[in-house]
Amino acid sequence: MYDIVNYEEAGTVQEAIRLLQANPRARLIAGGSDLLVKIYKGKITDAELVSLRGIIALKDISIEGDGTVRIGACATFSRIAGHPLIRKHVPVLAEAVSRVGGPQIRNIGTIGGNICNGVTSSDSAPTLFALNALLRLEGAGGTRVAPIQDFYLGPGKVDLRQAEVLTEILLTKENYQGFGGHYIKFAMREAMDIASLSCAAVCKIVGQNVIADFRLALGVAAPTPMRCLRAEEIARGRVFSEELLLETGRTAVTEVNPRTSWRATREYRLQLVEELSKRAFKQAFVKAGGVLL
């Protein structure tokens, strides 16, 4: 049973903002793959919804003259995974969102909803963290742009203010051009499962296998998705080697704070952090054009 007492469809972002202003209890809905489950299970009662699904502009994917890739918040995972701009410029993101649920979920679930749900197991979040994604948010007070790292406040909590709409995810050229990337989702079963741990790495090399830049992001390793900044710093400026892989993985373990759940114990997740960090780094290095010696 879906306990929905009011439902309105917005035709524009500004209309959605006005509807949210008029009714502070209203919640935004896009694909509904997360929200409708909560309503069905009784976690949300007397739901009042404002739908974004009719706003065509929020589904657009484009690239600006300065190389910034713009992804509308209502773009579905299927659309992102198959879009030629994403596959050409940020294939690691296509790789990550193709791991979300099954085909039905990917066809209706949106990247904006995945972010705003605020869960640490989000498949899109680690890759967006590694790519230094920016979020464009529009509200009654105007527009603001926030780094995705600042948007996650705690488990299931994000910095989405009242009467505010996430409209776009922005990936700037300097944060993806020349990088190779790799995403790993470790789950109890391969299909349609939530990650026990997830890991995204992006890497840029110069000269003879020297790591010019490296970023490592994890999901389910802390209350929110996170970057392993100390591990990243260790790798930069170093020649890629098995020794560097080991050092990076061990350092990543010191930065995380996973919990025990029915999916995995804290101790098991710590092992996964070390192993997946090494695997993702190695594959990102290869995809960046590095040569394994």
Beta strands (DSSP E) in the chain are 4-9, 27-29, 47-51, 61-63, 69-72, 134-139, 142-147, 152-154, 157-158, 164-171, 180-186, 197-206, 210-219, 226-227
pLDDT confidence bin for 190, thresholds 50/70/90: low
Q: Tell me: do 168 and 215 sit in the same domain.
A: no
Q: Tell me: do 43 and 62 sit in the same domain.
A: no
Residue 293 lies in a domain: no
Residue 292 lies in a domain: no
Is the pLDDT at 189 greater than 80? The verdict is no
Residue 96 lies in a domain: yes
Q: Tell me: do 166 and 194 sit in the same domain.
A: no
Q: Tell me: do 189 and 158 sit in the same domain.
A: no
Residue 139 lies in a domain: yes
- How many structural domains compose the chain? 3
Residue 31 belongs to domain spanning: 4-50
Q: Tell me: do 195 and 164 sit in the same domain.
A: no
Is the pLDDT at 268 greater than 80? The verdict is yes
Pairing of the two strands 197-206 and 180-186: antiparallel
pLDDT for the residue numbered 109: 93
> What's the average model confidence in pLDDT over 199-221?
97
Is the pLDDT at 276 greater than 80? The verdict is yes
Residues 8-19 pLDDT 10s: 999 999 999 999
CATH assignment of the domain containing 155: 3.30.465.10
Q: Tell me: do 87 and 147 sit in the same domain.
A: yes
Q: Which of 30-34, 39-43, 100-104, 171-175 has the highest mean pLDDT?
A: 171-175
pTM of the model: 0.95
pLDDT confidence bin for 2, thresholds 50/70/90: confident
Residue 165 lies in a domain: yes
pLDDT confidence bin for 142, thresholds 50/70/90: very high
Q: Tell me: do 141 and 209 sit in the same domain.
A: no
Residue 94 lies in a domain: yes
> Which of 174, 198, 217 delimits the end of a domain?
174
Q: Tell me: do 199 and 257 sit in the same domain.
A: yes
> What's the average model confidence in pLDDT over 212-241?
98
Residues 64-97 pLDDT 10s: 999 999 999 999 999 999 999 999 999 999 999 9
Residue 249 lies in a domain: yes
